[in-house]
Chain A
Amino acid sequence: KNEVEQSPQNLTAQEGEFITINCSYSVGISALHWLQQHPGGGIVSLFMLSSGKKKHGRLIATINIQEKHSSLHITASHPRDSAVYICAVCRTDKLIFGTGTRLQVFP
C-alpha cells in the first residue's frame, strides 16, 4: 500500500464546477505540499501546509493532521485548471509523492 494515496485518479468537470481532490497518508509528517503539473510542463508548488487551511485565489487547501488527510479545492473551475495535481508529504527531510490526480475541465 502506498504511503500517500490520492483520489480520484482522474477527474473531469464542466467549467464553473467546484472541484475536490483528496490526499490521505499513513505516516507521520511535518508538512504536506500540493503541486500542479501541466501537460508536458514543469511542476509548480501551490501550497505548503502543516495545519489548518490556506487560500490562494480560487484554490483552497486544507489539512487534518489527526485524520491524516488533506483536500485541494478549486472553486469556479476553468479549462486552464486542467493539469495533474500532486500531493507530497514531508517525512524526515524526504518527500513522498502521491501518483497524482489528472483533472480535465471542459468549456
Chain B
Amino acid sequence: DAGITQSPRHKVTETGTPVTLRCHQTENHRYMYWYRQDPGHGLRLIHYSYGVKDTDKGEVSDGYSVSRSKTEDFLLTLESATSSQTSVYFCAISEDPGSGELFFGEGSRLTVL
C-alpha cells in the first residue's frame, strides 16, 4: 500500500472555527490533491499541488486554502468553517496523473455544527 495518511480522520467543530486537515505521504510523489465527496456530487477538486509551494485552485476552492512547504505534506485549511463544508475530504497523490497510478488517503470526515 502507498504511504499516504490523513489526519484527523474525524472531526466535529463549530461554525466559525478554523480547521486544518493534513495529508502526509512517504512516496515522494509530485502531485497532491484535496477533494471533497458529497452525496450526489461525487469527488470535487478543492486545490491541488504540483510541487513544493506550487498550488492551484480546483472547482470548489472558495473558503479553503492550502499549503505545501515540504514534498510530503499538503495542508488544507478552512479559515472559518461553515456548515456547507461538512463533508468527507480525501487526499490523493500521484507521481504523474497522466501516466501513473493514483493513491488515496482513507478520508477525513468533518462535521461543522
Residues of A bordering B, CB below 8 Å: 30-31, 33, 35, 42-45, 48, 50, 86, 88, 90, 93-100
Contact = CB atoms under 8 A, between A and B. Distances in A.
Interface string B84-98: 000000101000011
26 contacts: A33-B102, A35-B104, A42-B104, A43-B90, A43-B92, A43-B104, A45-B102, A45-B103, A45-B104, A48-B99, A48-B101, A48-B102, A50-B98, A86-B42, A86-B43, A88-B43, A90-B97, A90-B98, A93-B50, A93-B97, A94-B45, A95-B97, A95-B102, A97-B43, A99-B40, A99-B41
B98 to A, nearest CB: 4
Residues of A contacting B: mostly: strand
Interface in B54-101: 58, 90, 92, 97-101
A93 B31 contact: yes
A28 to B, nearest CB: 11
Interface residues of B, number: 25
Interface of B: 31, 33, 35, 40-45, 48, 50, 58, 90, 92, 97-107
A42 B43 CA distance: 12
A72 to B, nearest CB: 15
Contacts of B105: 42
Contact of B92 (A30, A31, A95, A96): A95
